[in-house]
Structure 1
Amino acid sequence: MISRQLSTMSGTVPPIVSVVPSRALVDEKIKVLVENLPPGSPVTLHSLHHSEDRDYWEAYGHYVSDHRGTVSVAKDLSFGGTYTGKEAMGLLWSMHPVPGSRKGLRLRKRDVCSPMLVNISVHSGHIAEGFRQQPPLASALIERWYMAPGVQRISIKETGVRGTLFIPPGPGPFPGLLDLWGGGGGLLEYRSSLIASHGFASLALEYLSSDDQYPLFSIIEAAFSILKDHPQVIPERVGIFGLSLGSILTIFFTAESAVIKPFCCVCISGSHIYPSGKMLLMCAVTCDGRKLNKVRLDENNHHIWRDVGRAIFHTPSNQVDVGKVNCPMLLVNGLDDQNWPTVESAEDMAEKMNAVGKGHLLTRLEYPDTGHLIEPPFSPHFRATNFIVEATKEKVIMLWGGQTKPHSDAQEDSWRKILAFLQHHLYSSLTPKVKL
């Protein structure tokens, strides 16, 4: 527990902010407690994070101390701020860029070997601005980690494969997961490192490459083989975890690949469209350099791609034959996904798999008022963020959808169920595979 006493409101004993645990994984809950306040005092709890991109993110809640002069974020009501009600983790999931920040920001951890540092402070009165100008009554600095102690981080660079392998602590071997992010590209490690912290060897793969020497499909197949053949990985217990474009590719490889035979799959915000060649879903949004008329703009000029997905999805020749899927698959989707028709796709997949007697392999999670970017729990909600369209390199602001509170609830609930799904299928010796 880390706490700094800075000043007093009244009396001789200074207020104290305590956070337990002060050092934890990002998916662990914390308890924030303020003590030594005058009874019935209005105070504001504030969180502040300075990101690796040098942007400031904050959240705050308005509280009134009880008869003992304490405020418990988990037990007491927030009467206003970026969240309201009893929300133990509101100071984290309701974070947003401070006023005056750049538009379209998204908070993502790049260096998983260092923690996210969050300063939690208490201020006199109910305030909504000027936190950095007003000295706090007390504050505490906490560490939020994506990588648990003992997790190994191994850089992979071979046969066109660029990624990072995370191995859990302990003797092993462990079940494995190939981690495929979306069409924004880049090497993102934070989900894989968190997965490894829960006992699964995970390979975060950068599969969108401008190097035509290594085609997209070959990169993913080679990465799957590298993971499966690692001495710390159980070769017959390797799955795939995809988001957005990564989920589209996961579904395709699961149904069609002669090389990749996953034991189970998790697909967040994807669909069963057929990725032809070096497809890069983003290229489907342009035609001869011109945007298709299916791309819509909202009142804020945010790009909405749902109708683009519908146009592709409703052409039967563009659909993967999901009747060929032979492993358990978990689909996680938001009912307010403004980027892609993921729910419609899930319904069609269920219908087609039921028709061939494989409906039992499919598990669906759907969440109201939840958008496309379903992240690990207590991550901020991003309704619209900057995005570079692969085909044109144009920078736009993409509308992902969702409302902050229900989206955040969905992130917490889905992560718990994803881990349970992976634990059940990858660690259980009783889970039968469908005969080919």
Structure 2
Amino acid sequence: MLAPVRTLSIETGTCPMLSVQPTRGLVDEKFQIVVMSLLPNQEVTLHSIHLSEDKDFWEAFGHYKSDEHGTVTVVKEESLGGTYEGIEPMGLLWSMRPVPGSRGGLRLRKRDVLTPMVVHISVYDGHLTQGFNQKTALATCETERWYMAPGVQRVDVREKGVRGTLFLPPGLGPYPGVLDLWGGGGGLVEYRSALLASHGFASLALEYLAPDELRTADVDSTYFEEAYQILQNHPKVHKDRMAMLGLSFGSAITLIMAAYSKVIKPKCCVCINGSHVVPVNKSLFEVFEEMKKHVNKLQVNEDNQVIHRHLILPIPSDPTLKVDVGRIKCPILLVNADDDQSWASVESAEDMEMMMKIAGNHHLLEVLTYPCAGHLIEPPYTPHFRASNFILQDTKEKIVMLWGGQTKPHAYAQEDAWEKILSFLQKHLYFSSNSAVKAKL
């Protein structure tokens, strides 16, 4: 770690000190920031900056006033302004945004989970809102945020036509298994699975939308069943303690598999901002062809951002047009955002509740709904993206997708939902929540 940079303060004749602890931790672990040796009641700005793997700079900042001892303790004191306000220990992460002059439509995502997200945190004299790179910081620290705890194994999976990455917790196991499905953006997204393995779950991040290598016409229920069995049959995985976790379109697949598959029999499922309104017994190509028929329902706002949620509205009453969730025999956790502009997740959850009540399996359903949160509910302290660049899988059109949400409530949703997801998985995949093995840095 770089040593903290400290600059002599002319006013006090002392060197302000900045402490960020831990300097190395998991991305869902809170840090504590303290600034000492300031003047009493001195106005300062705490600033974070991160260079993404796409070579874009992201920043956040908060305005503070030191106490009578010349100290700022972020966990106790409120930010008076900046990219976040109030007592927010992690505001310097979740309120990050591209620096002024950056490209439009950016989204911050970690591709290489073998390396940390490095964030430089600095303290400046006065309440600043811009021009940080032209000012001299009073002190600077560097912190590393990891998705993989020490000892977690990353294993490429290229077997029986299945593509993905398996993350295994340290030790002999066996561990509960989680099949991890991302949404319609496609590609292989590893960071959530890496973090799940850091909390004691063997997690397979599955790639199922990769136009250059996986033809959607060849991806149907058997592909997901093969992936499930590969995970289930791994010697470090407890074959009778398996779950599926899906976000967005991945939730639809999770519901289909849980309702209809004779191979996939999960102990529980987690669905984040998804829907049961999707053709069943179809290949992905057929699903997207069916979705193309409804593109006239897409809406565009005044900022030319696409609102996707109307594609499945109104929720059909015809049972043949949606997953028969009454067939599901395992506990399901639905995590929904009430400002989801990409998918009609709240309306879908209401319909699912009704269907499951009629079928007599409503006791298996747990629904979390977060006010003013948007579609992309990710691991804690991930910056909020109200809109970003996106390629529609059904038309291959490049657009700016409106995800929805407001920054502060969305940050709360991500932190609270992640804690409840881990608790849900521990409850149903371990004998008790206390038996879960959590790897620590």
2:43 corresponds to which letter in structure 1?
P
The equivalent of 1:58 in structure 2 is: 59
Shift of 1:8: 2.2
Match of 1:185 in 2: 186
Which of residues 291, 301, 304 in structure 1 aligns to 2:304?
Answer: 301
Check the 8 A contact 1:5/1:14 in 2, yes or no. no
Displacement of 1:3 in angstroms is 4.6
Report the Cα distance in structure 1 between the residues aligned to 2:130 and 2:36, rounded to whole angstroms.
Answer: 23
Structure scoring higher RCO (CA < 8 A, sep ≥ 6) equals: 2
Partner AA of 2:183 in structure 1: G
Q: Extract unaligned runs of 5+ from structure 2.
A: 434-441
Tell me the residue number matched to 2:270. Answer: 266
Q: Where does residue 365 of structure 1 map in the other structure? A: 368
Aligned partners of 2:426 and 2:432 also within 8 Å: no
The alignment partner of 2:149 has SS state of coil
Pair 1:219 & 2:223 matched:
yes
Contact 2:326 2:355 survives alignment (8 Å): yes
* 1:384 partnered with 2:368: no
Alignment of 1:28-107 (within 5 A): 28-107=29-108
Distance 1:185 1:312, change over 3 A: farther
Q: Deviations over 1:185-210 (max 9, x none)?
A: 00000000000000000000001143
Q: CA deviation at 1:312?
A: 6.5
Identity %: 57
Kindly state the Cα deviation for residue 258 of structure 1 after the two structures are TM-superposed: 1.2
Report deviation, 1:285: 4.4
Q: Deviation digits for residues 68-117 of structure 1, max 9, x if unmatched?
A: 11111111111100000110000000001111111111110000010000
Q: Corresponding residue for 1:7? A: 7
AA at the equivalent of 2:145: R
CA distance in 2, matches of 1:224, 1:132: 49
Residue equivalent to 1:198: 199
Query: How far apart are 1:391 and its partner, in Å?
Result: 2.7
Shift of 1:367: 0.5
Return the alpha-carbon distance in structure 2 between the equivalents of residues 332 and 98 of structure 1: 31
Per-residue CA deviation, residues 15-43 of structure 1 (Å, 9 max, x unaligned), is 11111111000000000011111111111
Q: Deviation at 1:352?
A: 1.1
The corresponding residue for 1:333 is: 336
Alignment-mate amino acid for residue 411 of structure 2: S
CA offsets 1:389-420 (integer angstroms, 9 cap, x no match): 12332110000110000010010001000000
Deviation at 1:315, TM superposition (A): 4.5
What's 1:286 paired with?
292
Shift of 1:2: 6.1
**C-alpha distance in 1, partners of 2:314/2:284?**
16
1:315-365 Cα offsets, whole Å, 9 max, x none, are 532111111000011000001111111111111111111112211110110
Letter in 2 for 1:219: Y
In 2 relative to 1, CA 132–253 (structure 1 residues): closer, same or farther, beyond 3 Å?
same
Q: Residues 43 and 123 of structure 1 are in contact (CA less than 8 Å); yes or no, is this contact kept in structure 2?
A: yes
CA-atom RMSD in angstroms:
1.6
**In the superposition, relative to structure 1, how do residues 314 and 49 fare at CA in structure 2: closer, same or farther (>3 Å)?**
farther
Q: Which amino acid aligns with 1:386?
A: N
Contact 2:176 2:242 in 1 (8 A): yes
**Unmatched 5+ residue regions in structure 1?**
431-436
TM-score with structure 2 setting the length: 0.94
Over 3 Å off, 4+ runs: 209-214, 279-285, 311-316
TM-score between both structures, scaled by the size of structure 1: 0.95
Give the deviation of 1:282 after TM superposition: 5.2
Deviation of 1:129 (Å): 0.4
C-alpha distance in structure 1 between counterparts of 2:353 and 2:395, whole Å: 35
Q: Could you say what secondary structure the match of 2:229 adopts?
A: helix
What secondary structure sits across from 1:398 in the alignment?
strand
Q: Secondary structure at the match of 1:293?
A: helix
Structure 2 equivalent of residue 398 of structure 1 = 401
Partner of 2:279: 275
Tell me: CA distance 1:383–1:232, structure 2 relative to 1, closer, same or farther (3 Å).
same
Change (3 A) 1:90 1:47: same
Aligned CA distance change for structure 1 residues 314 and 124 (closer, same or farther; 3 Å): farther
What's the secondary structure of 1:252's corresponding residue?
Answer: helix
